[in-house]
């Protein structure tokens, strides 16, 4: 069960499923890097690849996240579950919501039958948003007052999807998620 980490941020870029492997995979593009400039935090949800990709993002803003199936060990993204408090809101972060028992389906997202209770069990308390990945396709919907947000992939979008990431704005205790389409 993850501890609640408090981070001061108002704008968060959420990235996932980018698979950065220098010399053997995609690399950051200028449009992606420009799009996340100005964010207070970059949150990664797994399958980011190697630390070199995280290092490049850390030149823009602090980076934290969770591990996916294709990540090399890195202390910034070592947990499988992470609970963050940003602007007074609790966010639950996981790579694969279905494998974690939080969703009946990830694509399209369908919450677990006991969604609020499953979130509280997984994250050690209630959350206002579940941030998840693993599908390479973006999604954002509210289920019983809890946002479920998948940023998609900025570099390797799933079939029929465009390159995307999520931008979270936190203001006056309100969360505004936005799926940002690149190029």
Q: Where are the domains of the chain?
A: 4-181
CATH match for 4-181 among 3.40.1650.10, 3.60.21.10, 3.40.50.1100, 3.40.640.10: 3.60.21.10
Confidence (pLDDT) at 90: 95
What are the pLDDT digits (tens) for 153-168? 999 999 999 999 999 9
End-to-end CA distance of the chain: 38
Give the residue-averaged pLDDT of 107-119.
Answer: 97
Split at pLDDT 50, 70, 90, the class of 1 is low
Q: Is the pLDDT of residue 6 over 80?
A: yes
Degrees, nearest 5: CA angle 144-17-141: 15
What is the reported pTM? 0.96
Q: Where are the beta strands (DSSP E) in the chain?
A: 4-7, 11-15, 41-44, 63-65, 81-86, 89-94, 103-106, 109-111, 129-131, 138-143, 146-151, 164-171, 174-181
Split at pLDDT 50, 70, 90, the class of 5 is confident
Give the residue-averaged pLDDT of 98-106.
Answer: 97
């Amino acid at each position: 069960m993850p501890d609640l980490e408090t981070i001061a941020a108002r704008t968060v870029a959420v990235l996932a499923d980018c698979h950065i492997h220098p010399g053997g995979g995609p690399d950051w593009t200028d449009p992606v890097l420009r799009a996340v400039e100005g964010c207070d935090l970059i949150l990664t949800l797994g399958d980011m690849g190697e630390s070199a990709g995280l290092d490049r993002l850390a030149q823009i803003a602090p980076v934290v996240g969770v591990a996916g199936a294709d990540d090399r060990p890195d202390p910034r993204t070592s947990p499988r579950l992470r609970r963050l408090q940003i602007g007074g809101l609790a966010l639950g972060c996981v790579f694969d919501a279905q494998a974690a028992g939080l969703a009946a389906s990830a694509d399209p997202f369908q919450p677990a039958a006991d969604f609020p209770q499953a979130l509280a069990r997984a994250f050690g308390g209630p959350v206002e948003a579940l941030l998840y990945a693993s599908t390479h396709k973006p999604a954002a919907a509210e289920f019983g007052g809890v946002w479920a947000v998948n940023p998609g992939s900025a570099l390797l979008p799933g079939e029929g999807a465009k390159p995307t990431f999520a931008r979270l704005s936190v203001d006056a205790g309100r969360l505004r998620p936005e799926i940002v389409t690149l190029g």
